[in-house]
Each structure stands twice: as structure tokens, then as C-alpha cells.
Amino acid sequence: MLGLGEAYVQGFWECDALDQLFDRLLRAEVCRVFRRHPLTVLIHLRALLFNAQTAAGAFRNGRAHYNLGNDLFEATLDRRMAYSCGYWRDATTLDDAQEAKLDLVCTKLGLKPGMTLLDIGSGWGSLVKFAAERYGVRAVGVTVSEEQARFTRQSCRGLDVEIRIADYRSIDERFDRIASVGMFEHVGPKNYATFMRVAERCLGEGGLFLLHTFASRDSFPDRDRSEVHWINRYIFPGLVVPSMGQIGSAVEGRFIVEDVENFGADYDPTLMAWNERFSANWPMIRPKYGDEFERLWRYYLLSCAGAFRSRKYQVWQFVLSREGVPGGYRRDAMH
């Protein structure tokens, strides 16, 4: 699948609907053909032997993608710059779906004025800004991208929001609530337990931790992931899609799982909306990025839309507690 993407970006083949193509390819399990390919075997061995998501690696991997340019992401994302799956249950536009997702996170966490919130992997600040504006919390966001930090600090002026450029492993203070939305995919299997230990030590008494991540049915590297080889090389270095089993193993002994929700089908319309916005805004940023990049970005967005449409990948939101919510967790009671 690596060569397929490279050939498309270089203009060797065309497709009127890349999203439909990848939906069909993944439903047909075409990637099974590449299971014993030498490149696949090499990638599996590297994943087993090396930790590609060390602290230094996290900065290097994050900067490769998130420092591409804020203008690119402004041309692609919604007005709040949320770079994760929207929540389309009652939404008809990208802006509405992303705001609904942010409100869902805040509601599940039961945010109240005066609480402290840690956002691990805060991106362009959509959650910390929303939580500070709408719920009156004091928020701390952590990112490895200087471009994201610069953007968020400017957009959150006047709000009780602090943005730190740091690796998650360096955080060692208590917060009433913790969220991590769309960052766990960059943690890597060798660091899942470390990530959960950090969240455990930073979560205050009676606190809640919301983990939002896209996920796979099967654990990597136990099963071939040749469909993401191109994404790893050209879009997200170090990306590893976790499974429910891997998340459960990392949570075991540390947290009680209070609530789980899957809305992975919502990533398809989110990615299609990103592609629509990118296509509409492309003429404004074309001189900076060039035509080959346009093909690369379109291939990325539409192949991912097809992957989520095929339901091979999911989006999970977990609500976790350390001691258990007295009487049990009820989302409707968290308002």
C-alpha cells in the first residue's frame, strides 16, 4: 500500500473517489496479500525491537506533522481548529459537529467553574479554549508543537489557559480532570503503560480522565497494518493505532472504566468535510505548498475517510476514574 500512495502523489494514476476505493479495498481485506512482504516483516520487527515514541522521538514525530503550517490546518479544519473526529449525532455542519464533540467531552467530565483541567495533546487549543469559555475551568494544555503552542496562546488571550511545550512524561502535578483527545495514537505500544501511569499520578482525588482515541479491532503488530505504511511515512511518523485489548491492558490496575462510547462512523463525514474545506481553500495556499502536496493531502484525507467508512477503524471515548464514582457514573448526572 506504500507504493500505491507514492504513485498517486506522483500522478501515475487517478481516481474519481478515493474514499470509495479505500472503503472497498479494506472491506475486501486486500492488505492480507502484503502480510509476508519483506517491508511488512521489517516494519513488524522494528516495532517489536525499538521504541519509536521516546520523548525525543515524540518531539521529532510531532513536529514533522503539526509544524507543517497553521495556514494549512486553518484551511482544512473547523473554526475551532479541532483535529479529531466530530460528533455528528445532531449536527449538519463541521463546525456544529466539532462543537458537539467538545461539549460531549466537557459533559462527560462533569466540568464545573473553578476546576482544573489538563489536556494532554492539546493541539490548536480547541478543548482548553472551549472549556475555559463555556465551563469556567482553569486549563493547561500540553503539546510538542511550537506552531500549535503559538496559535493557541494567541487565540486564548484573556482566558485562564496555560500552554506548555512538553512531552506528557514530564507532567507531575494534580488536576481535577484530565482529557486526551486524538493524541494516544502517537504514544506507541511500548509506552501505553507509561502514559496511563502519568495520567494516574496527575489525576486528583475523585477526578475523571477522558481518553479519546481512534482504534483498531486487532493489536499491532500482531496483525498486518500495511494500509497505514504510507500514512506512517508521509503524514504521521510514529503513528500506531491501538486496540481495545492494548488500552485495557494499560488501564488494568490503575483505573476503573466508568463509560465507553464508540462513534467511529462519525470520522467518515469529518474527514470528508475536511477534504471539502481543503479543496475550497487550496487556491489560497497553493503557492506555498505546491501541486504535489495537494495530491498528498487529498490522498491522506480521502483514504482515511474510506478506512473509517469500512468500519475497520473505530473511535473510542473512555471515561476513567481511579477509585470509582460513588454510586456509579451516569453521564446525565454530570451536567
Cα–Cα distance for residue pair 60/121, rounded to 1 Å: 15
Helix or strand or coil: residue 166?
coil
Cα–Cα distance for residue pair 148/132, rounded to 1 Å: 18
User: In whole angstroms, how large is the CA radius of gyration of the chain?
Assistant: 19
Cα–Cα distance for residue pair 70/147, rounded to 1 Å: 7
Of 307, 234, 301, which is closest to residue 21 (Cα–Cα)?
307
Whether the bond into 221 is cis, omega within 30 of 0: yes
Q: Residue 12 burial by CB count (10 A; 0-12/13-18/19+): exposed, middle or buried?
A: exposed
Helix or strand or coil: residue 175?
strand
Catalytic choice (31, 85, 156, 304):
304
Tell me whether residue 304 is one of the annotated catalytic residues.
yes
Helix or strand or coil: residue 206?
strand
Of 91, 93, 156, 88, which is closest to residue 119 (Cα–Cα)?
156
Q: Residue 222: phi, psi to the nearest 5?
A: -65, -30
Taking every pair of C-alpha atoms in the chain, what is the biggest distance, in angstroms? 60
CB 219 within 8 A of CB 245: yes
Which cell numbers in the block locate residue 106?
466537557
Cα–Cα distance for residue pair 152/134, rounded to 1 Å: 17
Residue 243 DSSP class: B
Cα–Cα distance for residue pair 48/189, rounded to 1 Å: 9
User: What positions carry a catalytic annotation?
Assistant: 304
